[in-house]
């Protein structure tokens, strides 16, 4: 009995020591909860310690992105963020590193979205996904991307440096699901040399556009004059559209809308859509706009027609400015080449997208791209179930770091997208910083430098920085397509209607009825789209 008592006392003592209540050290239990403080270095170190304590020495992530050839920082910004975090850990003796195992970058953001949509449920999509905000509602609604509202609360000082409208574009139902990566405007470009041939005075044209004096009737007048006098092959070239067609600017230019905030429904604004389609139809019927342009090739037809001066007007994006310098679209001299900054400046005037009618307001369209985090981010790493919250918070800190002003400014300058942070907007005005970027005398991952070296050499120039400064005012006139899960489906119908109208397969009125029928035939669209107004019977274009 005495022996039993001794053993009992020993067990009690061992239990107390194990619980950490007597002398001794605390039990070696790993902490898996990290509270973000808003102090970036502190938070990164805390996460590094937790990973180290749990035996994790390497964290693997992948980055998916899409867009024009100059916008590769959409994936390499993540690579650079990883390097900067790794340096913090290394400098503080933490034996953990982040490895970006894949940088998947494709041209079509629609294709990238569909690939992500199909592979995310299978656990095969990228950990980071940068794409149009237009896709964010669907991805959020499906639970495919991470809600970061609570994480962002600790980093309000960073959030406040983004332009507010872009933060709003990164939300769904009031919750934050990403951080803005870039934005842009969509100017109306005018060839100065073609304009000069037909006596088209561009002096103060941007002010006339702002005041609603110069409208689409004027665009038609000068486009027709350029064609008739042989100054250009076409009067107008525009983009061929996608699930987010730039051409919806016409709806806003004619005073229309696409969304009813009172009931959360999309709007089919019949009068505005009819006027848009009529303008397309009239330009195509008069031979001023290729009737098959919706099937034109970007590199072989659309861009060459613009850079070689075969059109007076072009509806494009700010990113064209540097894409024309880095891609070999110009072949007028024989060997295809990119334009020089001086040539782009000499040949192209740019202004807002004009109002549809006299007295109306000009517009532009922005389509912010957003850093989004896979709701399964880090799933291939050790102890994922146990450390999921830690991996997710690390992923959030990576998009905070990828949003550093200098990373955003580099992307802006080399791709001609507008900065999303005020600090980045200030940086691109710094001549010394521009010169350092030109020589790549900057603190940047060597892999990132290697992948942007040629783009930097072709694009970093005071002329290009000045262009970004010149067009930044356009954001005051910008519109966004509705952040609604069914908008891409409606936009696809618009694209079909435009194509049929341009080809002369339908009149503008028939095309509007086609859109209405397609909406009504789709149960989900019928439930989510409000049809407003009727085809205007006495409307004429062009107006005198």
Q: Are 367 and 480 in contact (CB under 8 A)?
A: yes
Predicted confidence at residue 32, as pLDDT, reads 75
The alpha carbon dihedral of 61, 62, 67, 70 has a sign of: positive
Length, in residues, of the chain: 544
Are 292 and 37 in contact by the 8 Å Cβ rule? The answer is no
Which pair of structure tokens corresponds to residue 519? 């909406």
| Total Cβ atoms within 10 A of residue 355 | 24
Structure tokens, 317: 């994006």
Complete edge-to-edge strand list for the sheet that includes strand 311-315: 234-238, 311-315, 188-191, 348-351
pLDDT digits (tens, 9 = 90+) for 56-93: 999 999 999 999 999 999 999 999 999 999 999 999 99
Encode pLDDT of 440-493 as tens digits: 999 999 999 999 999 999 999 999 999 999 999 999 899 999 888 899 899 999
Q: CB-based contacts of 369: which residues, under 8 Å, 6+ apart?
A: 67, 74, 109, 130, 131, 132, 133, 180, 181, 182, 183
pLDDT in tens, 269-289: 999 999 999 999 999 999 999
Would you say residue 24 has pLDDT above 70?
no
Distance CA 189, CA 195 (A): 11
pLDDT at 242: 67
Contact 515, 273 (CB under 8 A): yes
Q: Which residue spans of the chain are classified as CATH 3.40.190.10?
A: 40-183+368-404, 188-365+482-532
Judged by DSSP in three states, 435 sits in helix
User: Which CATH code for domain 188-365+482-532?
Assistant: 3.40.190.10
Contacts of 425 (CB under 8 A, 6+ apart): 418, 419, 472
Q: Calculate mean pLDDT across residues 308-337.
A: 96
pTM of the model: 0.84
| pLDDT of 86 | 98
What tens digit of pLDDT does each residue of 404-448 get?
999 999 999 999 999 999 999 999 989 999 999 999 999 999 999
Q: Give the pair of three-digit tokens for residue 163.
A: 């332009």
The CA-to-CA distance between both ends of the chain, in Å, stands at: 113
The two tokens of residue 480 are: 């966004």
Give residue 244's pLDDT.
60
Residue 15 has pLDDT above 80, yes or no: no
Do residues 414 and 456 lie in contact, with contact meaning Cβ atoms separated by under 8 Å? yes
Half-sphere exposure of 540 (CA within 13 A, CB side): 4
Mean pLDDT calculated for residue range 185-211: 98
197-206 burial by CB neighbour count: b if 16+ within 10 A, else e? bbebeeeebb
SS3 316: coil
pLDDT (average), residues 320-344? 96
Residue 520 to residue 509: CA distance in whole angstroms: 17
CA distance 530 to 511: 17
Mean per-residue pLDDT over the chain, rounded: 93
Which CATH class for the 40-183+368-404 domain? alpha beta
Residue with tokens 């998009």: 399
């Amino acid at each position: 009995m005495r022996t039993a008592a001794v053993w009992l006392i020993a067990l009690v003592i061992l239990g107390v020591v194990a619980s950490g209540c007597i002398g001794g050290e605390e039990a070696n239990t790993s902490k898996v909860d990290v509270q973000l403080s808003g102090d970036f270095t502190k938070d990164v170190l805390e996460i590094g310690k937790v990973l180290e304590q749990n035996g994790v020495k390497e964290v693997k992530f992948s980055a998916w992105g899409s867009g024009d050839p100059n916008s590769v920082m959409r994936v390499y910004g993540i690579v650079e963020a990883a390097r900067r975090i790794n340096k913090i850990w290394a400098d503080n003796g933490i034996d953990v590193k982040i490895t970006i195992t894949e940088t998947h970058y494709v041209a079509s953001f629609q294709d990238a979205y569909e690939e992500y949509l199909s592979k995310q449920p299978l656990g095969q999509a990228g950990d980071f996904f940068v794409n149009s905000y237009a896709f964010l509602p669907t991805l959020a609604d499906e639970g495919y991307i991470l809600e970061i509202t609570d994480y962002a609360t600790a980093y309000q000082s960073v959030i406040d440096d983004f332009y507010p409208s872009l933060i709003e574009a990164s939300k769904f139902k009031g919750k934050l699901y990403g951080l803005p990566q870039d934005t842009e405007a969509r100017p109306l470009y005018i060839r100065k040399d073609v304009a000069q041939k037909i006596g088209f005075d561009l002096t103060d044209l941007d002010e006339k556009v702002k005041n609603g004096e110069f409208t689409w009737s004027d665009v038609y007048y000068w486009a027709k004059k350029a064609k008739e006098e042989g100054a250009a092959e076409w009067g107008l070239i525009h983009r061929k559209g996608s699930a987010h067609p730039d051409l919806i600017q016409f709806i806003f230019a004619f005073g229309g809308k696409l969304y009813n905030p009172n009931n959360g429904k999309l709007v089919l604004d019949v009068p505005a859509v009819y006027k848009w389609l009529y303008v397309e139809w009239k330009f195509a019927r008069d031979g001023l706009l290729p009737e098959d342009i919706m099937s034109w090739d970007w590199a072989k037809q659309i861009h060459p027609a613009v850079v070689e001066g075969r059109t007076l007007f072009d509806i494009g994006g700010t990113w064209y400015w540097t894409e024309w310098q880095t891609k070999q679209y110009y072949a007028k001299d024989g060997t295809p080449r990119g334009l020089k900054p001086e040539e782009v400046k000499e040949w192209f005037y740019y202004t807002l997208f004009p109002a549809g009618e006299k007295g109306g307001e000009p517009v532009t369209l922005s389509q912010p791209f957003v850093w989004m985090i896979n709701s399964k981010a880090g799933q291939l790493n050790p102890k994922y179930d146990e450390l999921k919250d830690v991996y997710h918070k690390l992923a959030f800190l990576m998009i905070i770091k990828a949003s550093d002003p200098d990373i955003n400014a580099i992307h802006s300058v080399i791709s001609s997208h507008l900065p999303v942070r005020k600090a980045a907007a200030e940086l691109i005005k710094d001549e010394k910083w521009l010169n350092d970027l030109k020589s790549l005398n900057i603190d940047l991952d060597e892999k990132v430098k290697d992948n942007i070296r040629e783009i930097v050499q072709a694009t970093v120039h005071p002329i290009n920085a000045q262009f970004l400064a010149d067009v930044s005012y356009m954001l005051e006139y910008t519109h966004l397509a509705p952040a609604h899960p069914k908008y891409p489906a409606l936009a696809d119908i618009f694209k079909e209607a435009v194509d049929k109208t341009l080809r002369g397969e339908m009149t503008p009125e028939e095309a509007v009825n086609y859109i209405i029928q397609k909406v009504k035939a789709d149960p989900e669209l019928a439930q989510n789209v409000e049809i407003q107004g009727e085809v205007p019977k006495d409307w004429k274009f062009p107006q005198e």
